[in-house]
Structure 1
Amino acid sequence: MSYLPCIEIEPEQPATSAVIWLHGLGASGHDFEPIVPELGLPESMAVRFVFPHAPQIPVTINGGMVMPAWYDILSMDIDRKIDQSQIMQSANAITALIEREIERGIDSQRILLAGFSQGGAVAYQTALSYDKPLAGLMALSTYLATHETLERSEANRQLPMIVDHGMYDPVVPEALGKHAVAVLQSWGYAPEYRTYPMEHQVCPQQIGDISRWLQKVLG
């Protein structure tokens, strides 16, 4: 089995939980690596952090330039026309990483998915369709790209979710984050929605909130 290349940060003691965290368009697995020490998680949580690198593909909205991307974005209108087959390929690749964690001895209910921007769209698709219960989902400055096609799994009907968004985000407008929450609620999920006075980024207050939430769902 071939897996996406990843950066992995191991805990001091053998891992008993895992966070698989997806970066945004044009970034890499290194993007969120510096956040791990800032989270200040207790050593007793024994969390393995996995930061996969997206494949290099041409991106239409960037003039066909080849860059790290989970899928091609065909237009930047509010509906975000995307390449659906590519987002499914990426979701399958993330599912393979979840399965690898299970093979390493991590219970599925101790595996959490996180994604920023484009990575968050893949995290939504992967987590909500996955056939074993997961620990949670962090959707950061993102949107629910596959809301018209997503086949939801009964295993994750009660999935704990946070949806974070910047109030001044010029890249993924907050309206898209709110739309995702409304769709999730209409499907019977109970996401926790949080906004921060920031643009398309993460901020210190948010990192503290993420740490507390991770300790709640994985502690």
Structure 2
Amino acid sequence: MTILSTNYLPAIKLETGTNVTHTVLWMHGLGADGNDFVPIVKELKLSPEVHVRFIFPHAPARPVTINNGFVMRAWYDICRSDLNSHEDKLGIRDSQKAIDALIEREILNGIASERIILAGFSQGGAMALHVGLRHEKKLAGIIALSCYLPLAEMLSVEAHPANASVPILMMHGTHDSIVPISQARMSRELLLAANYQVKWHEYTMEHSVCINQIEDISTWLNWILQPL
């Protein structure tokens, strides 16, 4: 495991083999950091024929209004529990640029954009959707866990045709009190209405990750991450 920094967002790098052919860029949730999903890699049961670089970036530290202004790692500020009202457009777009830069670094390192997956949980999942649907180069897929589509009203004018057919995996807990499943379902319906390919899973859980979900992520990743 390696720590990446320089002029990019600091991140943790973990590779499943020596000759890396694919990258999964995985964003954490509000108040966590890149370490949060590192343990999931060994649980994914990926094909040994595919060597993957997992990158887990740390979001910047910023005050979060809904948490009384407490400074924590966050991809953007949240003002209200109604997540799609009073959205922090500037924060979202700043994080979009930072994540785009990480994608471009992978491309410069020899990983074609078509072999890069964006993944994230909660706020990180919202950023995976936001960035992936707008990115100007075709991506391999998007994993959106326990999240919603931010700046949804702007998607129709900002979505890039390069990712009009990108496979999207959305997963959510039926008892989620942080990001209500009703909000996630609304995001799913918006994406389906825009003709995106969305695979949807619901689990009897709260704002978390469960074993059955990890198994479903493994199946989906092994479908996307084909040997070259």
Range class of TM-score, shorter chain:
over 0.9
| Pairing partner for 2:107 from 102, 109, 113 | 102
Write the distance in 2 (CA, Å) between the matches of 1:30 and 1:9: 11
DSSP 3-state at the match of 1:51: strand
- Matched residue, 2:3: none
Offset of 1:123 from its aligned partner?
A: 0.9
Indicate the RMSD between aligned Cα atoms, in angstroms. Answer: 1.1
DSSP 3-state at the match of 2:213: helix
Query: Is structure 2 residue 52 aligned with structure 1 residue 71?
Result: no
- Matched residue, 1:125: 130
Query: Is structure 2 residue 186 aligned with structure 1 residue 179?
Result: yes
Offset of 1:11 from its aligned partner?
A: 2.1
Amino acid at match of 1:104: N
Runs (4+) of structure 1 exceeding 2 A deviation are 77-82
- The within-5 A match list for 1:11-160 is 11-77=16-82, 79-150=84-155, 151-160=158-167
Give me the TM-score of the superposition, normalised by structure 1: 0.97
Amino acid at match of 1:95: D
Offset of 1:190 from its aligned partner?
A: 2.0
* Structure 1: gaps (5+ residues): none
Write the distance in 2 (CA, Å) between the matches of 1:197 and 1:203: 9
DSSP 3-state at the match of 1:32: helix
* Cα pair 1:137 1:160 within 8 Å, conserved: yes
DSSP 3-state at the match of 2:130: helix
Give me the TM-score of the superposition, normalised by structure 2: 0.94
Write the distance in 1 (CA, Å) between the matches of 2:84 and 2:131: 20
| Pairing partner for 1:207 from 214, 219, 222 | 214
* Cα pair 1:70 1:86 within 8 Å, conserved: yes
* Structure 2: gaps (5+ residues): 1-5
Write the distance in 2 (CA, Å) between the matches of 1:21 and 1:115: 5
DSSP 3-state at the match of 1:112: strand
- The within-5 A match list for 1:159-178 is 159-178=166-185
Identity, % of aligned positions: 49
Write the distance in 2 (CA, Å) between the matches of 1:197 and 1:77: 22
Count the aligned residue pairs: 219
* Cα pair 2:87 2:151 within 8 Å, conserved: no
